[in-house]
Amino acid sequence: MFPVLIDDVAMSTPATDDIAAISALYPESTFPTSTGRITGHVFFSDGATPAQGFNVIARRVGDPLVTAVSSVSGYLFTADAGNPIYPWPGSDFGSRDPALIGYYDLPGLPPGDYTVEVEAIHNSEPNPFVGGSSVGPIGNLGFQFPLPSLLPPPPCTPEYLVTGATATCSSAAATPIPVVGSSVVSTGTDVILIGTPPRYDAWEGGP
């Protein structure tokens, strides 16, 4: 559900996104066979470091404003993993499986071709999506990440999935992902963000 009530009449009818999220938890018998899903990861521009806390949206080609389903990258991973060196327990909620960092899952997609896009979650006043209006685990910590880039502001928002390559600013250049009932599409679905800062600076080292 949208975290801020803008129009109580229009928003009283569940949108495709709402139906997909509720049905993923409490599915009717036909839900798994009549809809498909897209899963993948969001990565920074090195293509290896997963990006946590961004909004990922699948939009059906032909009616992108009506048939759209969203997920937050890394929504299953804990917001605070703690620190084993300096004892800090972290959060009791969410998994600590590193494979879930940056992972997204877009269920409840009616058959069709979809583009996948990534955007930052609203992170400034008025009404940032944090605290009681939080979207995804990061928002529970009281902030949301802006879309990062070496050249502020980011080159574009949203950024669109291109299979096997860095994302694009052009929706027309996005890779269409075909979805049919009961399918789970998980190949060619990783989004690599545009021109983000390097993982390490000159004084750091690591794998």
| pLDDT tens per residue, range 144-160 | 999 988 866 778 999 99
**Quick one: pLDDT at residue 130?**
92
Q: Is the pLDDT of residue 173 over 90?
A: yes
Burial tier of 88 (Cβ tally within 10 Å: 0-12, 13-18, 19+): exposed
Tens-digit pLDDT profile for residues 127-139: 899 988 999 999 9
Q: Is the pLDDT of residue 205 over 90?
A: no
DSSP H helices in 27-135: 31-34
Tens-digit pLDDT profile for residues 56-76: 999 999 999 999 999 999 999
**Quick one: pLDDT at residue 97?**
94
Nearest-Å Rg of the Cα atoms of the chain is 17
Q: What's 10-192's CATH class?
A: mainly beta
Q: Which helix (H) or strand (E) segment is 23 a member of?
A: helix 16-25
Q: What is the bridge-based pairing of β-strands 165-168 and 159-162? A: antiparallel
- Which band of pLDDT confidence, cut at 50, 70 and 90, is reported for residue 109? very high
**Quick one: pLDDT at residue 207?**
61
Q: Nearest Cα to 186, choosing from 34, 88, 27, 41? A: 41
The residue with greater pLDDT, 202 or 15, is 15
Lowest mean pLDDT among 76-80, 83-87, 165-169: 83-87
Three-class SS of residue 30? coil
**Quick one: pLDDT at residue 47?**
95
- Which band of pLDDT confidence, cut at 50, 70 and 90, is reported for residue 206? low
Where do the domains of the chain lie?
Answer: 10-192
